[in-house]
Amino acid sequence: MQPAIIRAEQVEKYYAQPSENRIQVISPTDLSISEGEIVALLGPSGSGKSTLLRMLTGLSIPSAGSVYWHEKPIASADVNVSIVFQSFALFPWLTVFENVEAPLKARGMDPAERRKRAMKILDTVGLDGFQAAYPKELSGGMRQRVGFARALVVEPEVLFMDEPFSALDVLTAENLRSELLELWQNKTIPTRAIFIVTHNIEEAVLLADRIIVLGRNPGHVRTDFRVSLAHPRDRKAAAFTQLVDYIYKVLTQPDAQPPALPQTATGRKVRDQRHMQYQMLPHARPGGIAGLLELLVDHNGRDDIYKLADDLAFEIDDLLPIVDAAQILGFLKVTEGDAVITPTGTEFANSEILRQKELFRTAALENVLLLRQIVRAIEAKSDKNVSEEFFHDVLDEQFSEDETLRQLETAINWGRYAELFDYDASRRRFMLPENENPEAESEAASEIDA
């Protein structure tokens, strides 16, 4: 094992709430980046990938724990890292050359030397001839090349990449990825380690020597393993697809045991989200759930999740919330990385819209606490409507502000679809659906059944 360049020791991130609780984003985590490896950090959205990256670079300070750069605290070290950003983060008012030159300027390098280095790196990433262009004149791929040039020009010891290819089209991403790999393997660049955050499983398996998979609620390492496939890696090879399948299995399996709960010095309670009252609703739309179930029926009710993702050209961030939602509603089960449809799921997939809504309504009332509570609250009130504020405050105890809003949005979306309640956005109140006429509805449903 090579000595670690960056080592994180029990780093965690949390936001204190006004009440007793605090929102844990990342539970205490150990992680190190050693010389000579490409590390890929994989995880669903909300697992704190980007937060972890920012703590490792020193951009963000951990709430607890510490990060070391060559065994010295990162705050007092002269850290030499670069980040390639998802949005490229180029300065639109500077030319390609000036963009690349800016980090060298910050280091007080003299103009001649600056020019030499910038031109050399532009040549390396295939941008010669473009130095006088402004970023907005370039295509996405060319812009990310500028992003790479700017990152590499300072000769970073560790090159960090935050979903660098996800804003690009498939072909461009493939092209850039292989060029990066070439630079790295031929040692054209003096970079000693690469750390890439991604939600594309194939990308991780294509590039990485080591893959770390994060789970969420709160973010924690689920597995950390080495990839020993030889480069160039073949997507069709059995070893490759097995690895992809394995990662899907890890991602979709519920945790065997929750990560250790941190102790707080201040005596504040830390609550694990899974022990909390409300389950975290995955942000999937009913239409998406229906679509997935119909696809599963076509595949005889069972399929590998990664194959489904492949069929749909979905990345895990697109597919997993839908799978999770269907699972919560009892429409499918996940076993061994396979999605298996349940009888209700099959019925749902084969029904007409009104029957679908009815099934969804039953499933939602049975399985989703928040929706059940909203409906009960409306029925309990004499004026048959209730303020959103109340649920906002209850959820706020458990989720971060952003997540609370998203939870409510999803709940509203599901509730409206299932005709459990109506929501008046301007007054922010839940109420009974207007043309509540159970007889007519059941009639319609029975007609369809017949």
Of the candidate spans 72-80, 229-237, 315-323, 388-396, the one that interacts with another protein by CB under 8 A turns out to be 72-80
Residue 14 CB, nearest approach to another protein (Å): 20
Residue 110, interface with another protein (CB under 8 A)? yes
Q: Please name the helix (run of DSSP H) or strand (run of DSSP E) that holds residue 291, with its range, or none.
A: helix 286-298
Q: Please name the helix (run of DSSP H) or strand (run of DSSP E) that holds residue 162, with its range, or none.
A: strand 158-162
Rounded CA-CA distance 95/316 in Å is 36
CA dihedral 65, 17, 255, 298 (to 10 degrees): -130
Residue 232, interface with another protein (CB under 8 A)? no
Of the candidate spans 129-137, 328-336, 360-368, 388-396, the one that interacts with another protein by CB under 8 A turns out to be 129-137
Q: Please name the helix (run of DSSP H) or strand (run of DSSP E) that holds residue 318, with its range, or none.
A: helix 316-328
Residue 68, interface with another protein (CB under 8 A)? no
* CB contact at 8 A, 86 and 164: yes
Residue 300, interface with another protein (CB under 8 A)? no
Residue 170, interface with another protein (CB under 8 A)? no
Rounded CA-CA distance 284/291 in Å is 11
Q: Are strands 38-42 and 193-198 parallel, antiparallel or unpaired?
A: parallel
What's the DSSP call for residue 135?
G
Residue 54 CB, nearest approach to another protein (Å): 8
Residue 70 CB, nearest approach to another protein (Å): 12
- 416 Cβ neighbours under 8 A, 6+ residues apart: 422, 423
Instruction: Choose which of 3, 73, 129, 343 interacts with another protein (CB under 8 A).
Output: 73
Residue 266, interface with another protein (CB under 8 A)? no
Length of the chain: 450
Instruction: Choose which of 15, 35, 36, 59 interacts with another protein (CB under 8 A).
Output: 59
Residue 140 CB, nearest approach to another protein (Å): 9
Instruction: Choose which of 78, 402, 434, 439 interacts with another protein (CB under 8 A).
Output: 78
Task: For 326-335, give one letter per residue: b (16+ CB within 10 A) or e.
Answer: bbbbbbbebe
Residue 144, interface with another protein (CB under 8 A)? no
Of 391, 442, 393, 425, the C-alpha closest to 21 is: 393
Residue 235 CB, nearest approach to another protein (Å): 30
Q: Which residues, 371 to 430, sit near another protein by CB under 8 A?
A: 426
Residue 93, interface with another protein (CB under 8 A)? yes
Residue 310 CB, nearest approach to another protein (Å): 29
Of the candidate spans 75-83, 284-292, 362-370, 378-386, the one that interacts with another protein by CB under 8 A turns out to be 75-83
Residue 107 CB, nearest approach to another protein (Å): 6
Rounded CA-CA distance 90/343 in Å is 52
Instruction: Choose which of 9, 63, 65, 85 interacts with another protein (CB under 8 A).
Output: 85
Of the candidate spans 70-78, 188-196, 232-240, 380-388, the one that interacts with another protein by CB under 8 A turns out to be 70-78
**Residue 61 or residue 440: which is nearer to another protein going by CB?**
61
Helix (H, G, I), strand (E, B) or coil at 117: helix
What's the DSSP call for residue 259?
P
Residue 54, interface with another protein (CB under 8 A)? yes
Rounded CA-CA distance 21/283 in Å is 24
Task: Could you list the beta-strand ranges (E) of 200-321.
Answer: 210-215, 220-226, 302-304
Of the candidate spans 80-88, 118-126, 230-238, 260-268, the one that interacts with another protein by CB under 8 A turns out to be 80-88
Instruction: Choose which of 68, 134, 225, 240 interacts with another protein (CB under 8 A).
Output: 134
**Cis status, amide bond into 232, omega within 30 of 0:** yes
**Residue 85 or residue 240: which is nearer to another protein going by CB?**
85
* CB contact at 8 A, 74 and 62: no
- 91 Cβ neighbours under 8 A, 6+ residues apart: 98, 99, 102, 135
Residue 102, interface with another protein (CB under 8 A)? yes
Residue 103, interface with another protein (CB under 8 A)? yes
Strand order, beta sheet including 4-16: 22-34, 4-16, 64-69, 72-73
Instruction: Choose which of 89, 353, 369, 440 interacts with another protein (CB under 8 A).
Output: 89
Instruction: Choose which of 91, 277, 343, 366 interacts with another protein (CB under 8 A).
Output: 91
Instruction: Choose which of 21, 47, 82, 252 interacts with another protein (CB under 8 A).
Output: 82
Of the candidate spans 73-81, 202-210, 241-249, 400-408, the one that interacts with another protein by CB under 8 A turns out to be 73-81
Which residues pair with residue 304 across a beta bridge?
338
Task: For 363-385, give one letter per residue: b (16+ CB within 10 A) or e.
Answer: bbeeebebbebbbebbeeeeeeb
Interacting residues with another protein (CB under 8 A): 54, 57, 59, 72-73, 76-78, 81-83, 85-87, 89, 91-94, 102-103, 105-108, 110-111, 134, 136-137, 150, 154, 426
